Chain A
Amino acid sequence: MSRFAGTGTLFYKEILRFWKVGFQTVAAPVLTAVLYLVIFGHVLSNRVQVFEGVGYTSFLVPGLVMMSVLQNAFANSSSSLIQSKITGNLVFLLVTPLTHWAWYAAYVGASMLRGLMVGLGVFAVTVWFAPFQMAQPLWALAFALLGAALLGSLGLIAGLWAEKFDQLAAFQNFVIVPMTFLSGVFYSVHSLPDTWRAVSHLNPFFYMIDGFRRGFFGASDVSPWTSLAVVGTSFAVVAALTLRLLRSGYKLRS
């Protein structure tokens, strides 16, 4: 028996689960992001100048890519867990020898993969709408991976906490969506009044988007090192909390 075979199987099962409904889990989010680009890009392209020499549509592309990564990473772990809880088939996993580390690695790993697949899909389609540049790709990669891991972990927490779909939808619509929309996907926080700019700096999603965008344009609202520190710390805190909840059997084992 391989020590990691169980973790690998759960990871594989989680991938198979979203891949079997790929239209819903991968294709639909790509289409949504493209619609955002077409509509906002068309309406605002001649009115908004964010960075020197960067058109609004070009500015929008990385924000939409990162927003898709984050939202889909969250959706994957949270929806998988709550579906299994509500239909009762989580029992198949609860009776196995898998540790809380294995659960975490498999659920978050699959969430990251789905987030990154959707992000790549959005990128592959939207890149044709605006001139492409990738000034510092390692920053983009680092923030995509860290952001997906952070949201995959948050999705696990939401899936553990929620006892019905309505609660999960509330978490998604009242926490995740506002935080991503108000993080500078569609604008630079420098264009905001001082108060709202200060509020934006309290939102960890802002640092994920800003750091990711740095990889494209080599320019950002704050230093990428500051963003890395904020996102890295947020991830460490959320990951530690998720592992603790899994280990304690929170809402899993009575």
Chain B
Amino acid sequence: MPAVRFDRVTKTYAGGGVRALDGVSFDIERGEFFGLLGPNGAGKTTLISVLAGLTRASSGRVAVMGHDVVDDFAAARLALGIVPQELVFDPFFSVREALRIQSGYFGVRGDKKANDAWIDELLANLGLADKADANLRQLSGGMKRRVLVAQALVHRPPVIVLDEPTAGVDVELRQTLWHFIARLNRSGHTVLLTTHYLEEAEALCGRIAMLKQGRVVALDRTSALLSGMASTMLRFKTDQPLPPAVVPLARVTGRIVQLKAHDAAEVERLLAALRQAEVRVEDLEIGRADLEDVFLETMGSER
């Protein structure tokens, strides 16, 4: 039984007829660190909302640890911890009150001592110990983000979903967060992550699914996605126009040019083309393709 199963999930919003999800099917195995990538509007948040029970699928089924998220919603939600994308908080409460209340919703209030110990552990691990009695209104954006993570974990769910958890947060929080989440993953928790920071997904996720216009357009181990891609990248800076033969292969960001090549012979051909066109290159590097290259190629080729 997988930790999460999406089975032919579709979602069409009433009125507009927009198909946000179009037959999404894949499993996330227990203990996996799984990445869900895609451009804005690809359907990532809709898919997570269906998983969390915030949105109802038009058709198809979703299960968490074998529990259907509609027919057996209580068991499914007990197994799931969601860190929402929006920075939301209840302004009436302190950090500790918010965490106690959240754990109480899941019925763990009874064992108060053990629950308080877990809350203290969460606060310590997320660098919130000195903010425990502060009102949530008084916290910075980064601190509020940490509280969201703690709230998602407070009922000790085996499956953790992080929807863009590091959007707009500083490097220190990112490090703290990933250190903690990676530790939870090593101890057996399943993690589903959506992020715009592709280097994070490459470093953390064992497997990745890419969504585009509500459909899965790539699904594989991160290493397989990278090796299936043109494996070499030429990177350099130039102020001059590229020769026409090279332009279709190039990704240009300001002065920085990236050219993909499958092998050494192709690298030589590209360099020869540049030399022949008398393009003056600076800071030339030859490296491996990264997840950003895979992402751009996948999104581009699936038009």
Q: Which A residues have a C-beta under 8 Å from some C-beta of B?
A: 1-3, 5-6, 8-10, 12-13, 16-17, 20-21, 84, 87-89, 91-99, 249, 253-254
Nearest residue in B to A98 (C-beta to C-beta)?
A: B105
Note all chain B residues with C-beta closer than 8 A to A2. Answer: 107, 109-110
Is the pair A9, B73 in contact by a Cβ cutoff of 8 Å?
no
- Residues of chain A within 8 A (CB-CB) of B55 are 253-254
- B interface with A by C-beta (< 8 Å): 13, 49, 52-56, 73-75, 77-78, 80, 82, 84, 86, 88-93, 97, 101-102, 104-110, 151
* Candidates A10, A17, A253; contact of B92 at CB < 8 Å: A17
A5 cross-chain contacts in B, Cβ below 8 A: 104, 107-110
Contact (Cβ within 8 A) A97 B108: no
B residues in contact with A98, CB < 8 Å:
105
The answer to whether A6 touches B54 (Cβ under 8 A) is: no
Q: How far is the CB of A82 from chain B (nearest CB, A)?
A: 14
21 A-B interface contacts by CB (under 8 A): A2-B109, A5-B107, A5-B108, A8-B109, A9-B101, A9-B104, A13-B101, A16-B92, A16-B93, A17-B92, A84-B90, A91-B88, A92-B88, A92-B105, A94-B54, A95-B80, A96-B105, A98-B105, A249-B56, A253-B53, A253-B56
Which residue, A6, A10, A92, has most C-beta atoms of chain B within 10 A? Answer: A92
Identity of the chain A residue whose Cβ is nearest the Cβ of B108 in the assembled complex: A1
Distance, CA A96 to CA B75, complexed state (A):
10
Q: Separation in Å of the A101 CB from the closest CB of chain B?
A: 12
Contacts of A89 in B (CB 8 A): 88-90
A71 CB, nearest partner CB in chain B, Å? 21
Contacts of B54 in A (CB 8 A): 91, 94-95, 253-254
Establish whether residues B108 and A87, one from each chain, have CB atoms under 8 Å apart when the complex forms. Answer: no
Return chain A residues, CB-CB under 8 Å to B88. Answer: 87-89, 91-92
Distance in angstroms between the alpha carbons of A12 and B104 in the assembled complex: 10
